Amino acid sequence: MSFLEAIILGLIQGLTEFLPVSSSGHLELAKAIFGDNSLPEESLTFTVLLHFATALSTLVIFRKEVFKIIKGLFRFKWNDEMIFSLKIIISMIPAAIIGFKYESQFAELFTGNIIIVGYLLIVTGLLLYLADRAKNTTKKVSYKNAVVIGIAQAIAMLPGISRSGATISTSVLLGNDKDNAARFSFLMVIPLIFGKILKDIINGEISYDSQNFSILFAGFLAAFISGLFACTWMISLVKKSKLSYFAIYCFIVGFLTILFTYYD
């Protein structure tokens, strides 16, 4: 992987982590275009690093909300912060269980199977189209909603299913306020990303070559900076009911990916 390719992949991750078009799917498409021949564990290491960068950008954007969540957990008072914290924890459970049990199977999907990405991008487009047609409300995410949204996040481990798209769409289709849906979607993934990285470090599963430090850092920085922009922009787009534009984009890229695979 070259320095320029790392920056491009970082920009793709930073933008598509928050925009509902599947960051993992776009990373796989970009790697296929660049002719990425890295080993699965090395490719996964770079992908995890980019997700870490966007998790940090989420922390920066939502630093006030994150501080409230932490206070809610440690004060042990039944207030709004504690309730919201519990809902975040509940939403994490499905993805944590599925990721722990089937991590190796998911890793195999991140090895250039771009036809899967194509079909699942179309699924993402359908979700976004339906969510965009839903009426806005003032309803907050309930405990039951947190479980369902968590299941949507677990399914979004598949490359091509947008995590933000799946969780925001699910939340909106359940009748929740669009602004709350977007904020909940972005906050619920932070603990999972940090937990995954910690687990991989402890298990020694992250492959690292010091000679590639500058390349990895370039990708990380590109993902972090673009993530700051995309996160702020996405919240505004959800509130304005602009998800249909991304639905059209997912349909186009999905169909083109399928055609490219068949006629390659």
Distance CA 253, CA 233 (A): 21
The HSE-up count of residue 190 (CA atoms within 13 Å, CB side) is 22
What per-residue confidence (pLDDT) applies to 42?
52
- In the chain, what is the greatest distance between 2 CA atoms, to the nearest angstrom? 60
Whether the CB-CB separation of 193 and 52 falls below 8 Å is answered with: yes
What per-residue confidence (pLDDT) applies to 210?
61
Tokens 């933000």: give the residue: 164
**Secondary structure (H, E, C), 92-137:** HHHHHHHHHHCHHHHHHHCCCCHHHHHHHHHHHHHHHHHHHCCCCC
What per-residue confidence (pLDDT) applies to 115?
83
The tens-digit pLDDT sequence of the chain (264 residues) is: 678 888 888 888 888 878 888 777 777 777 777 766 554 445 566 777 888 898 899 889 888 888 877 776 676 667 777 888 889 889 988 888 887 777 666 666 656 567 888 899 999 999 999 988 888 788 888 999 999 999 998 888 887 888 888 999 999 999 998 888 888 888 888 888 787 777 777 776 666 566 677 888 888 999 999 999 988 888 888 777 778 888 999 999 899 988 888 776
What per-residue confidence (pLDDT) applies to 213?
75
Whether the CB-CB separation of 249 and 75 falls below 8 Å is answered with: no
Whether the CB-CB separation of 136 and 129 falls below 8 Å is answered with: no
Domain residue ranges of the chain, discontinuous segments joined by +: 3-263
Distance CA 140, CA 146 (A): 10
Full-prediction pTM beyond 0.85?
no
What per-residue confidence (pLDDT) applies to 136?
79
Distance CA 153, CA 20 (A): 12
171 vs 46, 89, 163, 219, 248, CA distance in Å? Answer: 30, 16, 12, 31, 20
Whether the CB-CB separation of 243 and 20 falls below 8 Å is answered with: yes
What per-residue confidence (pLDDT) applies to 40?
44
Distance CA 197, CA 194 (A): 5
Count the Cβ atoms, other than its own, within 10 Å of residue 198.
10
Distance CA 55, CA 220 (A): 11
